[in-house]
């Protein structure tokens, strides 16, 4: 197995081990070739794509995550990134990335207020600096430049633990998933 594959498998395994506290049936998904459905299964309505890279490629990774969401017929595609300097022992402190429309739908369901930062796309390559700002619980960053007027081109970044707590609040991870409510909000 090549070095990036080993690194990715290690990150996926660490994330799934942590995620089982909230989604007891979570497990690493086997590769599916052209119809990939994400890196994690056992979380109804959700697709997780896990990355462990020093340089972030958010637009490409979010396109990949969205394609996997469509392939899995899931409600929400979530990109999880292990930032440099944050250990495999603390996946809750990793970065969760979702599209603006999806995150707005989740916030509407929870009625939570969050602290936000707007982050220039030019600065996203400086992952350590960016993550220091966002590593505060309850903080969300929005990434999208002046050309990114469509919601599907603007991304929200927050701690993985914070997103999982929001997902639990709206019913994910429990028997009665509120996926239809989220779909309704996203279509409006």
**pLDDT tens per residue across span 19-74:** 999 999 999 987 666 788 899 999 999 999 999 988 888 888 999 999 999 999 99
Statement: residue 188 has pLDDT above 60? no
Helix (H), strand (E) at residue 116: strand 115-119
Position 151 scores a pLDDT of 46
Domain residues of the chain, as ranges?
Answer: 3-187
Helix (H), strand (E) at residue 143: strand 139-143
The answer to whether 49 and 68 are in contact (CB under 8 A) is yes
Q: What integer is the mean pLDDT of 160-176? A: 82
Q: What integer is the mean pLDDT of 64-93? A: 93
d(CA 80, CA 11): 10
Position 145 scores a pLDDT of 47
Predicted structure pTM score = 0.79
Band (pLDDT 50/70/90 cuts) for residue 153 is low
């Amino acid at each position: 197995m090549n070095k990036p594959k080993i690194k990715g498998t290690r990150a996926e395994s660490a994330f799934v081990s942590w995620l089982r506290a909230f989604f007891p049936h979570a497990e690493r998904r086997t590769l599916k070739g052209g119809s990939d459905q994400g890196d994690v299964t056992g979380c109804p309505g959700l697709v997780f794509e896990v990355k462990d890279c020093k340089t972030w490629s958010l637009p490409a990774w979010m396109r990949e995550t969205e394609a996997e969401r469509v392939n899995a017929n899931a409600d929400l595609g979530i990109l999880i990134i292990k930032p440099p300097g944050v250990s495999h022992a603390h996946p809750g402190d990793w970065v969760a990335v979702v599209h603006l429309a999806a995150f707005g739908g989740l916030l509407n369901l929870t009625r939570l207020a969050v602290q936000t930062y707007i982050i220039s796309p030019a600065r996203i390559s400086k992952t350590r600096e960016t993550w220091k700002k966002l590593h505060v619980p309850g903080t969300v960053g929005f990434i999208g430049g002046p050309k990114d007027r469509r919601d599907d081109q603007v991304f929200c970044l927050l701690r993985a633990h914070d997103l999982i707590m929001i997902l639990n609040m709206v019913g994910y991870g429990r028997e009665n998933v509120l996926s239809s409510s989220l779909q309704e909000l996203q279509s409006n």
